[in-house]
Amino acid sequence: MKLKQTLSLLAAAAFSVSAMAWEPSGRVECIAPSDPGGGWDFTCRSVGNVLEELGMVSGSVQTTNMAGAGGGVAFAHTVSKRNDDSKLLVAASTATTTRLAQQQFPGMNAGMVKWVGALGADYGIIAVSQDSDYQNLNDLMDAVKENPRNVKFAGGSANGGWDHLKVLIAAKAAGAGSLPNIPYLSYNNGGEAMTQVIGGHVDAFTGDISEATGFIDSGDLRVLAVLAEDRLPGKFSDIPTAREQGIDALGPNWRGFFMPIDADPEAKAYWVNAIDELYASDEWKAVMVRNGLIPFHPPADEFEAFVTQQVADIETLSREIGLLQ
């Protein structure tokens, strides 16, 4: 009888713990630190759709666009106004760590939020309008080398941000000098930047493959190079890398999330596990294939260390090319 009572108590305790485990009820919010149309917006909306499809949230996932300061407005909002919100996710990427590395979020650092996880990497591209005279990356970089002010680039990050850095990485690898003199025009998101290129107002676009997919599919945008080690799989396999054109330039951009650091510990554990489960799902794998994402998902206990190291690496790069003193 005592054994039965003990087992009953253990079962009741287990049920109680299970019932009390944190799960998001009602609406979950995902902040995209940009206007609609960019990579952060893509991250929130795509992940939100899959979370709902898999039944991992009981309500909806609402995307809130919060542009400004290259992600700084959303970062500051999270730290100062939503620091204990357990149902808030914020889209992040290499663009986020770039701004942190360059001290562009005054008074803030990577340790002020909880880094949840990454769901793939999105490689950088350099692209032109379909009717551009530049036929390949070397044509474009030859014009830059002849006169750095001759070619105007547009991107969705702020001046000195990750999109801007990709241009400078490629130009430096191509042997161009006077890197700070290369014109870079900053827009609130990649969609705006691509529209300027397609309209003939700017010579070239610098961004990521996922945000350019629609313009590539429509034929309005022609990609001169992807900044990857090897060609991307699937429908992007015909896009040449910068490396195969003799320019050793790489520009991987991970996509993932951070959340408020003072959120419920159980909520933080829930979202880390949710990102693991989502990443392993067939539904997310299909999203990755459609949008040119490549596998990238550091284990949960390593992601914070990865972010810290990337901030340090980008700070060193920014100093090398004169963006930091």
For residue 112, give the 3-state DSSP assignment: helix
Its pTM stands at: 0.78
CATH for 123-251 is: 3.40.190.10
Where do the structural domains in the chain lie, given as residue ranges?
27-121+253-320, 123-251
Q: Beta strand 153-155 with 184-186: parallel, antiparallel or unpaired? A: parallel
Is CATH 3.40.190.150 what the domain over 27-121+253-320 is classified as, yes or no? yes
With a cut of 80, say whether residue 17 has pLDDT above it.
no
What burial letters (b/e) apply to 19-57, b meaning 16+ CB within 10 Å? eeebebeeebbbbbbbbbbbbbbbbbbbbbebbeeeebb
| pLDDT tens string 106-155 | 999 999 999 999 999 989 999 999 999 999 999 999 999 999 999 999 99
In tens, the pLDDT along 151-198 reads 999 999 888 889 999 999 999 999 998 898 999 999 988 999 999 999
pLDDT tens string 250-277: 998 999 999 999 999 999 999 999 999 9
Q: CB atoms < 10 A from the CB of 291, how many?
A: 21
DSSP class of 231 = P
pLDDT at site 300: 81
* 8 A C-beta contact, residue 120 and residue 289: no
Cβ atoms < 10 Å from Cβ of 234: 10
Distance CA 321, CA 325 (A): 10
297 near 139, Cβ under 8 Å? no
**Identical fold, 27-121+253-320 and 123-251:** yes
